[in-house]
Structure 1
Amino acid sequence: MTSTLAQRTIHRTVLNNGIVVLVVENPSADIIAARVFVRAGSRWEAAQQSGLSHLVASVITKGSQQFSSLEIAEQVETIGASLNTDSTSDYFLLSLKTVSSDFAAMLTLAGELLRSPTFPLEEVELERRLTLQAIRSQQEQPFTIAMDQLRQAMYGQHPYARSGLGTEETVAKLTQQDLQHYHQTYFRPDNLVISIAGRVVPESAIALVESVLGDWQAPSVPLPTLNLPPIVSAPTQVITPQETQQSIVMLGYLAPAVSLDATIASDYAALKVLNTYLGNGLSSRLFVELREKRGLAYEVSAFYPTRLDTSQFVVYMGTAPENTAIAQAGLQTEVDRLRTTTLTEEELQSAKNKMLGQYTLGKQTNSQLAQIFGWYETLGLGIEFDTRFQEEVAAVTPKAAQLAADRCFLEPYLSLLGPAAVNPAE
């Protein structure tokens, strides 16, 4: 199947073993980038194994049936290529980039790592120690602490409540066998999306993937069914006194997951525009009103991540401790204003222009192209979502934005951290 999106032709093929292959030919530079998505990640972890997918990502490149950790590193570095792994809430990712002439060798190496990692015990222990250090370091970062307590309040028992790094307790208990079982469960051809962009003929790229991974057969057992706890709205306040140089104030609202459902997609697009309006850049509403005009904020912004399950719309501020109460009130006022006041056509169009411009700029490099189309495919949206999303953003009206705000921005969750923190409402 081929789709032409914004003058780019995207070829989509499903191999006999279930691997989905996407190819975008972009001959402007002699570079090929690939993203291998596995439908795994921290969303698929049990609470007592929190941090497992992160540890898998850290160790999977440290040894295979054919190569040692040093041999793998040498293969990549001697040709100036890059090969990295990562784990997020909603997917596991292997990324590679190289000049065109070395792409076959790098994809072959990636295939070896995907299919037969050995997770050497000494590498597991080393990466465990590094992860524990990272967890302890984050426990000293006020923003991270505030974000963790907000996430836990909003998501309860759902995996989104947990840090991708895990906790000291869970990471300390993870074993080599846990990593091997996770790999055996989720790393299978019918659970993979391979997205390729660069100076490559699509038919040649598909044939190469077939030659490297075509004989990898999916196991007869089906993928495990996830039975995730529901995400229920129950706004609470989590307030942590801590001696810091500034107070961190966060307001969080449960917000729609990305979806192909027309009603949900409409709110999703509208909230993406409102996120840009509120917190994207030096011209954003929060920055201008709360930092430039009132001098309340060291830092102020908003974010609304794309998620498979219910997402979160968060506004936050770092402020002087003595300004904590007025900062919270200021954030709340700016969010509530979106429910009661219809943005002008000019305000809305400015936000849409900014958002769509940044979206387009985010699809310039081969790595960006491979990432975005592979990501949409992995999330079950399809490659056509690229065009559909931009059309939905362009179609957002002031009234639609206000209605989306009215549905989403009800009572917020509050996360507050700072010196002698108290409930500002008291």
Structure 2
Amino acid sequence: MKNDKSFKYLKTILARTFLLSLALSLSLSLSSCGSTGNVEAAKAAPVEDFTIKHLSNEIPVVFKQNRGSKIVVFRLVFEGGTSALDSSMSGLEDLTLNLALRASDMYSYEDIQHREYEKSFSLSSSSGKDYSTAGFICIQRDLSEVFNIFSSCMLNPLFSEEDYSRRMNEIADEISRKNADPSGTLGLAITKNVFKDHPYGTAGSVTEDSYKNLTLNLVKGLHTSLMNALRIKIVVVGNFSAPLIDDFTEKLEHKFGGIPRKAFSLPRIAKISVNNEAIRIANEQAGETGYVAGMYSCPSRDSDEYIPYAIASMFIDDLLYAQVREQAGAVYSINTGVLGGKEFVGVISAYRVSGREQFKKLILNAISSFDEEAVEKKLDQYKNKYISSIFNSSQTASGVAANVITSMEYYGSEQAYLHRSEAIRAVQPAQVINAYKKYFEPVAKENAALWIIVDREENLSEYDF
């Protein structure tokens, strides 16, 4: 429910120039996978920003240079994500990856916890709508050891009844907290109502409805499905010489090159449509303020209209902040964004609403006050703001890895994010104005949005929706 996360997943040419210039002033000698890595790295000639390898089973491996860094980020990317599962199985992929990283046939849960603390590395996973990931982040000198732990977990997870029961108990507590939290209630309501009958209706986390359906046998079955070379890509971000890339590719081949290729079809992701209605949900934990989200149609991620739309939303953000929060004092936080993956739905998110009676009117008035003449005057300012957000997302190795993965999954090239700033700079005022008229104006003038309101029972009728 935050501003467009895809904005932060992209990197600009400015960032690339910065990293390249930084590399010229830094030594290329860093610890390697093996004991002689410092010498090898020092002697090796610089390699390209991207190096692409393929394992014998055709799993692609993307090495992204992060010059001057002593950190390595490793990600296994699994195609399909939650969209490949029925909504009754919500959270199964997250549960599977989490349990896989808890323990293997060689490393116990306690052993992994101890080593993570001792070596300052972390194993992690995430479950997304179109793809999921599992990986680690570590200091480069520990790469071999951490990779051995990670690969042992992914290829030969323990999946013990004890670990399964422990995790399910944790999830039960998480569900209770989420149900009690009004923002959690709002998120669940969005999944159920906005993504109803859509592949995105399968939640990434376990829900109250799916909890009783998830068994350890289902976890084991999904793990077998994920261990499919046709579904896997690998991304590695670090400061590697050519010999180190070759050495680590051999390690990857030894561990993951034997994963078989099996038939798998990605789910078809249709465009997301919304109805014009208002849904009110009672939550007594809301206290004196409410939580509201308005969903509306917006362009697809790969549409030519998307960047102009994103810039238009930045104008709308400032209008909502100035008029609804600052002038009217009707809400603590309000902003626009998008939800989804390959396909998006626009969202206006409002947290801690106090001015219930006029709240919708305030929002619509703010949207309607969009000034076309201001676009011409302020467009460069908003372009710079957009580009800065992209640059900031690439300040960490994890951010770089996220940019590479997003580019691969949604734009067909690991380098696509590097050219985002060019597309931003090319946007003309008329494109931003047209995006506003097509996507925001209907919300203000035609009530073309689905609104979900979460508040205490006695407050719900006060909202003017």
Distance 1:295 1:425 in 2: 17
- The code of the aligned residue for 1:299 comes to S
| Distance 1:255-1:12 versus aligned 2 partners, 3 A rule | farther
Instruction: State the Cα distance separating 1:305 from its structure 2 match.
Output: 4.4
2:245 to 182, 186, 205: 205
| Distance 1:174-1:150 versus aligned 2 partners, 3 A rule | closer
What are the residue-to-residue correspondences of 1:307-322 with 2, within 5 Å? 307-308=341-342, 310-321=343-354
| Distance 1:285-1:14 versus aligned 2 partners, 3 A rule | farther
Question: What residue is the counterpart of 2:91 in the other structure?
Answer: 51
- The code of the aligned residue for 1:389 comes to R
Q: Give secondary structure in 2 for the equivalent of 1:163.
A: coil
Distance 2:464 2:120 in 1: 57
Distance 1:162 1:225 in 2: 15
Q: Deviations over 1:92-119 (max 9, x none)?
A: 2223222221112212222222222131
2:89/2:202 contact within 8 Å kept:
no
Correspondence 1:221 to 2:262: yes
Instruction: State the Cα distance separating 1:137 from its structure 2 match.
Output: 0.7
2:179 to 139, 145, 148: 139
Q: Deviations over 1:176-198 (max 9, x none)?
A: 11111111112323322222222
- The code of the aligned residue for 2:439 comes to C
Correspondence 1:397 to 2:428: yes
1:62/1:69 contact within 8 Å kept:
yes
1:249 to 292, 309, 321: 292
1:343/1:398 contact within 8 Å kept:
no
1:376/1:385 contact within 8 Å kept:
yes
- The code of the aligned residue for 1:216 comes to G
What are the residue-to-residue correspondences of 1:188-203 with 2, within 5 Å? 188-203=228-243
Question: What residue is the counterpart of 1:269 in the other structure?
Answer: 307
Correspondence 1:360 to 2:391: yes
Distance 2:253 2:114 in 1: 22
Correspondence 1:109 to 2:149: yes
2:56/2:253 contact within 8 Å kept:
no
1:42 to 60, 74, 82: 82
Question: What residue is the counterpart of 2:461 in the other structure?
Answer: 422
Structure 2-normalised TM-score? 0.81
2:292/2:351 contact within 8 Å kept:
yes
2:63 to 23, 27, 49: 23
Distance 1:195 1:91 in 2: 13
Question: What residue is the counterpart of 1:232 in the other structure?
Answer: 273
2:359/2:464 contact within 8 Å kept:
no
Aligned residues: 411
Which stretch of structure 1 is more off in the superposition, 91-100 or 124-133?
91-100
| Distance 1:379-1:107 versus aligned 2 partners, 3 A rule | farther
- The code of the aligned residue for 2:433 comes to Q
| Distance 1:48-1:150 versus aligned 2 partners, 3 A rule | closer
1:317/1:327 contact within 8 Å kept:
no
1:135/1:165 contact within 8 Å kept:
no
1:187 to 214, 223, 227: 227
Distance 1:348 1:25 in 2: 33
Which stretch of structure 1 is more off in the superposition, 240-249 or 361-370?
240-249
1:382 to 397, 413, 437: 413
Distance 1:134 1:46 in 2: 21
Q: Per chain length, whose mean CA-contact separation is higher, i.e. which structure has more relative contact order (CA < 8 Å, sep 6+)?
A: 2
Which stretch of structure 1 is more off in the superposition, 154-163 or 222-231?
222-231
| Distance 1:287-1:228 versus aligned 2 partners, 3 A rule | closer
2:64/2:237 contact within 8 Å kept:
yes
Distance 1:203 1:408 in 2: 51
Distance 1:104 1:277 in 2: 48
| Distance 1:249-1:305 versus aligned 2 partners, 3 A rule | closer
Q: Give secondary structure in 2 for the equivalent of 1:379.
A: helix
Correspondence 1:292 to 2:352: no
| Distance 1:356-1:91 versus aligned 2 partners, 3 A rule | same
Which stretch of structure 1 is more off in the superposition, 223-232 or 323-332?
223-232
* Aligned-residue RMSD, C-alpha: 2.5
| Distance 1:114-1:351 versus aligned 2 partners, 3 A rule | same
Question: What residue is the counterpart of 1:258 in the other structure?
Answer: 301
Instruction: State the Cα distance separating 1:28 from its structure 2 match.
Output: 1.6
2:77/2:232 contact within 8 Å kept:
yes
Q: Deviations over 1:328-378 (max 9, x none)?
A: 22222333445x846422332222211111210211222221221123213
1:59/1:124 contact within 8 Å kept:
yes
What are the residue-to-residue correspondences of 1:59-138 with 2, within 5 Å? 59-138=99-178
- Runs (4 or more) in structure 1 with deviation over 6 Å come to none
Q: Deviations over 1:385-420 (max 9, x none)?
A: 213322222222222112223333330111112233
* Percentage identity across paired residues of the two chains: 16
1:328 to 350, 356, 360: 360
Q: Deviations over 1:202-259 (max 9, x none)?
A: 5523541332345533435311442567643433221124443202222111323322
2:229/2:262 contact within 8 Å kept:
no
Distance 1:202 1:235 in 2: 56
2:55/2:253 contact within 8 Å kept:
no
Runs (5+) with no aligned partner, structure 1: none
| Distance 1:120-1:399 versus aligned 2 partners, 3 A rule | same
Instruction: State the Cα distance separating 1:381 from its structure 2 match.
Output: 2.9
Structure 1-normalised TM-score? 0.88
